[in-house]
Structure 1
Amino acid sequence: MKNDIRISRTTSENTDFISLVAVLDESLWERYPELKWDYWGNNILEINPNVVVIYIDNKAVACGCFKKKNENTIEIKRMFVLPEARGKGFSQNILRELELLGVELGFSFSVLETLYKQTEAIGMYEKCGYAIVDNYEPYVGLKNSICMRKQI
């Protein structure tokens, strides 16, 4: 039986996106309980028109968004795939759609931050053309952060 897979451009007010981000936050705090207070302020869900959600048979299984970092750079945020949907390339699909949206809006670069234990994510980002760079604000001095950058 073939699943119905749909990629949706939406906003941060989408209830499926909000639900996925809640699961993401819970998983991060379980994996990194010692870092919660260092990073909590960076994980506030702002009003954002640049959100992508992937659905399988009308169930939201993956998400991501970006915010404007500066005049020519977007910052990828809130990338997440539910555990039961991993290994199917959805994170790459989300990232590709976000980069395409960024280009459509006139941006030339994409940056992101992830944590050092996120080895699967780091490998996926490198596979998609991202390179590790010096930490940018607000991650300067946070030794657990890995910052990456790509021309889009």
Structure 2
Amino acid sequence: MLIESRPATDPEIDALVTAQQRELREADGGLDGQATVTHDDIRYLVVVAGGRAIACGGIQALDDGTGELKRMYVRPAYRGRGIARQLLAALEELAFRQGHAVVCLETGTYLPAAIGLYTSCGYEPIPVYGEYVSNPYSVCFAKRLRVPA
């Protein structure tokens, strides 16, 4: 397994984000209804196994000190193997290298596995922010990054 940086324009990133958005629409029963695309200002990491991209996630700057975790996704066939936890750690390292002291994120109340991952990795609930304020299913979390030893 390899974790590597990829541009937002990478076709495998597009395929993973499309699969993520489809799965989210199914999980929330179509409640959100927002179409999401990749953004050039998101720095993506991809997990590659057997030559195939199986997971992705990105960091987007909210301000000088805060990065937002975006598009975290692991293909269903690869879940339960600790891949999301390894990818999250790599994304936190990327955020730190970009100068962010804090990483925040939004997820849905209908995604208990995601909430469990984030809280078990040290993320704490914060008030809903930005574009998510009007979504009653949004929950937000943040984590202060530690300086690497």
Alignment TM-score, normalising by the size of structure 2: 0.91
Q: Which residue of structure 1 aligns with residue 81 of structure 2?
A: 88
Unaligned runs of 5+ in 2: none
Q: Residue deviations 1:20-64, cap 9 Å, x none?
A: 111111111122233233x33xx3321135100001111111100
| Counterpart residue type for residue 32 of structure 1 | D
Task: Give the ranges of 4+ consecutive aligned residues of structure 1 lying more than 4 Å apart after TM superposition.
Answer: none
Residues in 1 aligned to 2:76 and 2:62: alpha-carbon distance in whole angstroms: 29
1:75 pairs, out of 29, 51, 68, with: 68
Residue 54 (str. 1) matches residue 50 (str. 2): no
2:12 pairs, out of 10, 16, 24, with: 16
Residues in 2 aligned to 1:31 and 1:142: alpha-carbon distance in whole angstroms: 15
| Counterpart residue type for residue 129 of structure 1 | G
- Give the secondary-structure state (helix, strand or coil) at the position aligned to 1:120: helix
Report percent identity of matched pairs.
29
Alignment TM-score, normalising by the size of structure 1: 0.90
Residues in 2 aligned to 1:98 and 1:22: alpha-carbon distance in whole angstroms: 20
| Counterpart residue type for residue 125 of structure 2 | I
Unaligned runs of 5+ in 1: none
Counterparts in 2 of 1:31-50, with a 5 A limit?
A: 31-37=27-33, 39-40=34-35, 43-48=36-41, 50=43
Q: Which residue of structure 2 aligns with residue 98 of structure 1?
A: 91
Q: How many residues are aligned here?
A: 145
Residues in 2 aligned to 1:125 and 1:111: alpha-carbon distance in whole angstroms: 10
Residues in 2 aligned to 1:29 and 1:106: alpha-carbon distance in whole angstroms: 33
Counterparts in 2 of 1:107-122, with a 5 A limit?
A: 107-122=100-115
Q: Which residue of structure 2 aligns with residue 148 of structure 1?
A: 141
Residues in 2 aligned to 1:94 and 1:137: alpha-carbon distance in whole angstroms: 25
- Give the secondary-structure state (helix, strand or coil) at the position aligned to 1:147: strand
Q: CA RMSD in A?
A: 1.3
1:11 Cα offset (Å): 1.6
Residue 127 (str. 1) matches residue 123 (str. 2): no
Residues in 2 aligned to 1:129 and 1:142: alpha-carbon distance in whole angstroms: 24
Q: Residue deviations 1:68-89, cap 9 Å, x none?
A: 0111000001000001000111
1:102 Cα offset (Å): 1.0
Structure (1/2) with the larger helix percentage: 1
